[in-house]
Amino acid sequence: MGGRYKSHMAVMEEIEEFIHRENMPLDLGMKIRRHKKQQYLMPSRLIPHFAAETMSSSLLKDFTMHIYRNTLSKLPLLSGLSESCLTAMALKLETR
């Protein structure tokens, strides 16, 4: 097992303990589990500083949407937003 997987499993164990300790409703516990699983399966990526600082706005838009389009397009909450709004949001994304 890789380090990323071990780290994910440690976080999931901590989440399970929290869910049970706080006696969360089943549907909320499932949402939290799905969210963390999705984060593990499709980790978001950071835009390198060189890109944000040196690329033209047009090139940066294309670069950003290439990296985040798949993730952003799967979120129903964002389905009606313009591409420029999605790009602005994508530029603010960070990984943990």
Please write the tens of the pLDDT for every residue from 19-63: 999 999 999 999 999 888 887 887 766 667 777 778 887 787 777
Q: Locate tokens 């399966």: which residue?
A: 41
pTM above threshold 0.75: no
Greater model confidence, 84 or 3:
3
- Dihedrals φ, ψ of 79, to 5°? -60, -30
Q: Which residue has the tokens 């499932």?
A: 30
Is residue 89 within 8 A of residue 47, CB to CB? The reply is: no
Structural domain spans, the chain: 3-41, 49-92
- Tell which residue, 41, 54, 39, has the closest CA to residue 94: 39
